[in-house]
């Protein structure tokens, strides 16, 4: 069973769900008095609709998009807001609440649950460790059946069963299938290797691109990784020589970039070049610097950054550091700022982590330390998370 490090595995959605429920390990709150001194919006005027979860005194509430408290902290956990509703933990139940905090439905108790679609919820059964599918009304649609699941994309969700979990969290030997929001196997067949999300009517399963009828459109190159990229499929070819190729829906190469590039977002994609490092304790002969190119392959922002994230809401998070010291110290030195489409740094590089912008708001982290881990998700110890706007103004300390 082949494993591709850049592919978005079904496991990644399990990790996201765990992070959603156990987000307290990331956003541990400040005392109320300290937070009030550091925000200009918490007490300023009436609050709007809930938009962002925050935690204080071991309980979760919701802020509006301007950082005002929309729902006071009162929940054990939450997975955030979607379509004006949120999943929250009240006593021993997972509950769906509306924008006013009214309980719309109650689901069975579970330590892991998240939105599968606009009106569907994945919930992990405590006794069997299998996922069940519920409607937001609380009705069970599929009993506990699947070992691993994805959210619904283009109306279908990839699910897995009959496998064995192996360290560090890979599901080996599983059978994959696609289901609709009613739990039906949409193609009437299974896949033996992998099954990835649908995008624009296509998905990759068993190393082939399939359409919404389950038909093979073309096979993906062996020994490569892929991402869907604004109507194209970006394929990492490990060569030699290494390159990233962008394919259209018929499998034809429409753009090829030397070494490595990422998916397109808002018409631009991050690309990498190799530069010579100055590590004091490392035998590495090169490191990557990142810039951005357009869909014609033209380099529109020079490769000067140590990391580069996709553009969101007209801004992209980029890393800045000096290539001096040890490999670990270089990572520790990196600070994240935000550039516009011209490459201008519009929010200074002073953060060490970010979620990226959505609806003109972004969560960023300052200070603290990140423990070294061999595999799996990482977290920040100490420091604080902030909600900022596109001007870089701090709206509210989340931690």
Residue of 269, 194, 260 lying closest to 231 (CA atoms) = 269
pLDDT tens across the length of the chain (399 residues): 333 333 334 434 333 343 343 333 334 433 333 333 333 334 345 778 999 898 888 899 999 988 889 999 999 999 889 888 999 999 878 999 999 999 999 998 888 899 999 899 999 999 999 999 999 999 999 999 999 999 999 999 999 999 999 876 789 999 999 999 999 999 989 999 889 999 989 999 988 999 999 999 998 876 567 788 888 988 888 878 899 999 998 899 999 999 999 999 999 999 999 987 766 655 666 789 999 999 999 999 999 999 999 999 999 999 998 766 666 566 668 899 999 999 999 999 999 999 889 889 999 999 888 776 655 556 778 888 899 999 998 876 665
User: 3-state class of 38 per DSSP?
Assistant: helix
Give SS3 for 129: coil
- The widest CA-to-CA distance across the chain, in whole angstroms, is 60
As a whole number of Å, the CA-based R_g of the chain is 22
Phi first, then psi, for residue 300 (nearest 5°) are -100, -20
Q: What is the pLDDT of residue 37?
A: 31
Q: Give the model's pLDDT for residue 66.
A: 86
Q: Which helix (H) or strand (E) holds 16?
A: helix 10-21
Q: Which among 390, 286, 386 is positioned nearest to 38, based on CA atoms?
A: 386
Give residue 283's pLDDT. 60
Domain boundary assignment for the chain: 1-22+77-220
The tokens of 328 are what? 């670990």
Q: What is residue 78's predicted lDDT score, i.e. its pLDDT?
A: 93
Structure-block tokens of residue 101: 């905090």
Give the ranges where 63-132 is alpha helix by DSSP (H). none
Between CA 239 and CA 246, with CA 240 as vertex, the angle to 5 degrees is 40
pLDDT at 396: 65
Cα–Cα distance for residue pair 339/318, rounded to 1 Å: 7
| Residue 159 in tokens | 């699910």
Q: Which residues pair with 289 in a beta bridge?
A: 273
- pLDDT attached to residue 327: 61
Q: Please tell me the distance from the alpha carbon of residue 260 to that of residue 245, in angstroms, as a whole number.
A: 9
Q: Specify the length of the chain in residues.
A: 399
Contacts 24+ apart (CB under 8 A), 274-277: 275/323, 277/323, 277/330
């Amino acid at each position: 069973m082949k494993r591709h490090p850049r592919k978005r595995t079904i496991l990644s959605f399990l990790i996201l769900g765990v992070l959603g429920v156990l987000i307290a390990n990331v956003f541990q709150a400040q005392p109320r008095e300290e937070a009030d001194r550091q925000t200009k919006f918490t007490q300023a005027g009436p609050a709007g609709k809930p938009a962002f979860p925050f935690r204080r005194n071991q309980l979760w509430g919701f802020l509006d998009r301007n950082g005002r408290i929309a729902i006071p902290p009162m929940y054990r956990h939450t997975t955030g807001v979607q379509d004006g509703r949120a999943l929250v933990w009240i006593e021993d139940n997972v509950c769906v609440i509306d924008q006013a905090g009214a309980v719309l439905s109650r689901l069975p108790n579970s330590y892991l649950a998240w939105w599968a679609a606009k009106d569907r919820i994945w919930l992990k059964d405590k006794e069997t460790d299998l996922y069940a599918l519920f409607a937001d009304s609380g009705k069970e649609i599929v009993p506990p059946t699947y070992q691993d699941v994805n959210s619904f994309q283009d109306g279908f969700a990839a699910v897995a069963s009959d496998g064995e979990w192996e360290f560090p969290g890979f599901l080996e030997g599983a059978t994959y299938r696609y289901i609709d929001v009613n739990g039906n196997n949409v193609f009437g067949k299974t896949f033996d290797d992998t099954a990835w999300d649908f995008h624009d009517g296509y998905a990759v399963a068993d190393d082939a691109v399939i359409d919404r009828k389950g038909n093979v459109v073309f096979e993906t190159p062996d020994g490569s990784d892929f991402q869907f990229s604004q109507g194209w499929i970006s394929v990492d070819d490990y060569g030699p020589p290494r390159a990233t190729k962008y394919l259209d829906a018929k499998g034809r190469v429409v753009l090829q970039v030397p070494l490595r590039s990422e998916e397109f977002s808002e018409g631009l994609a991050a690309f990498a070049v190799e530069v010579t490092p100055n590590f004091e304790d490392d035998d590495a002969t090169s490191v990557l610097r990142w810039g951005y190119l357009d869909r014609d392959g033209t380099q529109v922002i020079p490769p000067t950054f140590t990391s580069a994230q996709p553009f969101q809401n007209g801004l992209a998070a980029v890393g800045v550091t000096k290539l001096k010291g040890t490999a670990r110290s270089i990572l520790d030195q990196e600070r994240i700022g935000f550039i516009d489409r011209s490459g201008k740094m519009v929010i200074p590089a002073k953060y060490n982590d970010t979620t990226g912008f959505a609806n003109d708001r972004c969560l960023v982290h300052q200070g603290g330390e990140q423990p070294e881990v061999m595999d799996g998700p990482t977290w920040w110890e100490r420091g604080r998370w902030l909600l900022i706007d596109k001007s870089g103004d701090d709206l509210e300390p989340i931690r």
